[in-house]
Amino acid sequence: RSRRSIKALLEVRPDSANLKVNGQIYPVSPESVNIGDIILVRPGEKVPLDGEILTGKSLVDTSALIGESVPRSVREGDTVLAGMINQSGVLTLQVTKRFNESSIAKILELVENASSKKADTEKFMTRFARYYTPVVVFLSLAVAIIPPLLITGASHAEWTYRALVLLVISCPCGLVISIPLGYFGGVGGAAKRGILVKGSTFLDALTQVKTVVFDKTGTLTKGTFNVTDIISDNGLTPTQLLELAATVEFHSNHPVAQSIRTAYGKPLDEAKVQDYEEISGHGIRAKVGNQRVLVGNDRLLHQENIPHQVCALEATVAHLAVDGQYTGRIIIADELKEDAAETIYTLQAQGIQTAMLTGDSQPVADRVAQKLGLNQYRADLLPEDKVSALEEFLHQAHRTKSKVVFVGDGINDAPVIARADVGMAMGGLGSDAAIETADVVIMTDAPSKVVEAIQVAHKTRRIVWQNIIFALAVKGFFITLGAIGMANLWVAVFADVGVALVAIVNASKLSS
């Protein structure tokens, strides 16, 4: 019932899909639609499957998926996900994933299966109930049998009645029901806010966090780079330099590469690129025509022994070298996210240390850290260096029995996310890697969701312990009354059911 109630909170599972075949529309179940099929989504309908818009433009409500109330504008070429609600125009989609592989199916499965990773409190209460129940049964038997044998004139009926009262009052259902429901409510409440928590164990871990470590690009910054300057050398014009860089970066999915191709804005000849090699954390080596070209950061130039004058700049820089000669650089700027500074301030106000790990240069890291007011930061890190740096934070935190959160994009930072006490992936909407790797998936690109996740965790733990203390206190009081004959069976029933109902109502606050 707890699982079903949390699934109902999402209210995003589509009921049917409008399949378009030879100009005719047929209502079918989403599970029967295949990749490549064409479906129609009318205004007011839920998008039944992940797909790419072929025709139409509209506003879609994404609140059920990511917790944002502002509708998103979509048009031809954009991707929409199952569970979004089409608000205005008619959309024709080409399905890109089967329903059981869609984002919403994975979200529902993730939330429903959150019980597999139980918090220590849940595990303790399960163990407690395992021993508590037989103890109470034997205690009730003792109350029914021993006093009549030891007390002259004691009535067997009276002490049997007291034993029954004790047995009813002692029933642990209030604890056994309310605590798992409290954690389910916490997981469901987080999901409504666009935060997917993979189990109550991570909610508990978030209450012990004293250090949050962020990746920079795409986490604290927008990750939408723009070319701001092109400085050429050795006879190349800025246009030639940009074209050469865009050609070499043809196959790369890195945000810097995408910004260079966007800045060039013309068709590129893929056939020109040969011997393409992407060097992790450094850049790209390739052959264009008869020229051997390097495009990358300062580390790549030093590794290849390319003489150059400029090393440190307060911006992201793509250096170019042709046949061992430095030919210039492309300056690329990234912007901080609007809520990044507020997020850092709020975390620090709660006594949480903030840090940043980035592969960017020291001057770039200096500028970002200064603007945000970070406690610590490390720059010029390769992917494997980030893991080593995180290990240092973990070592420091574990000495004080606290936890470390790492927040990244879920793909490039997968090893670091996996190593952290709690790994968070931002912008996880539609990202299989994010959902697989992270312990917590933030469905938007807003850093402020990190604060929300920690707040939900603290609220969950507070309510769970309120339920535990309330249930034990009430039961202890009425057990005493029952043992001395001052409580009857009706009082016992109301005390037991009342404790369970109050605990359940209290736990339900988490879903609001």
The verdict on 375 and 404 lying in the same domain is: yes
Integer Cα distance of 360 and 301 in angstroms: 15
Mean pLDDT of 445-465: 92
The verdict on 298 and 238 lying in the same domain is: yes
**Buried residues in 481-499 as b, exposed as e (16+ CB within 10 A):** bbbeeebeeebbeebbeeb
pLDDT tops 90 at residue 154: no
Integer Cα distance of 50 and 93 in angstroms: 9
The verdict on 340 and 215 lying in the same domain is: yes
Show which residues are catalytic. 215
131 domain residue, yes or no: yes
The verdict on 371 and 388 lying in the same domain is: yes
Residue 192: per-residue pLDDT: 80
How remote is the C-alpha of 342 from its chain's centroid? Answer: 19
Structure tokens at 502: 């109050």
Residue 23: per-residue pLDDT: 87
pLDDT band at 115 (very low <50, low <70, confident <90, very high): low
Query: What CA–CA distances, in Å, run from 496 to 187, 202, 229, 424, 470?
Result: 27, 31, 72, 40, 12
pLDDT tops 50 at residue 127: yes
pLDDT tops 80 at residue 393: yes
Q: What range does the domain containing 477 cover?
A: 115-183+458-511
The verdict on 416 and 322 lying in the same domain is: no
- Domain containing residue 71: CATH number: 2.70.150.10
pLDDT tops 70 at residue 217: yes
Number of domains into which the chain is organized: 4
109 domain residue, yes or no: no
The verdict on 464 and 315 lying in the same domain is: no
Average pLDDT score over the chain: 84
174 domain residue, yes or no: yes
The verdict on 504 and 462 lying in the same domain is: yes
177 domain residue, yes or no: yes
Whole-model pTM over 0.85? no
206 domain residue, yes or no: yes
The verdict on 360 and 318 lying in the same domain is: no
pLDDT tops 90 at residue 255: no
Residue 190, amino acid:
A
Residue 429: per-residue pLDDT: 57
Integer Cα distance of 63 and 129 in angstroms: 39
| Domain end marker among 43, 69, 97 | 97
Reported as a single tens digit per residue, the pLDDT across 199-209 is: 888 999 999 99
The verdict on 75 and 23 lying in the same domain is: yes
267 domain residue, yes or no: yes
Residue 9: per-residue pLDDT: 44
pLDDT tops 90 at residue 349: yes
DSSP character at residue 46 = B
Residue with tokens 């920079």: 216
Three-state DSSP string of 402-423: CEEEEEECCCCCHHHHHHCCEE
Integer Cα distance of 352 and 347 in angstroms: 5
The verdict on 326 and 340 lying in the same domain is: no
Structure tokens at 179: 């605590």
- Domain containing residue 341: CATH number: 3.40.50.1000
Strand order in the sheet with 85-86: 72-74, 58-61, 85-86
Share of the chain above pLDDT 70, in %: 88
Reported as a single tens digit per residue, the pLDDT across 282-329 is: 889 999 988 899 999 888 888 888 887 776 666 778 899 999 899 999
| Domain end marker among 407, 432, 455 | 455
Q: Which of 192-206, 315-329, 416-430, 431-445 is predicted with the least confidence, judged by mean pLDDT?
A: 431-445
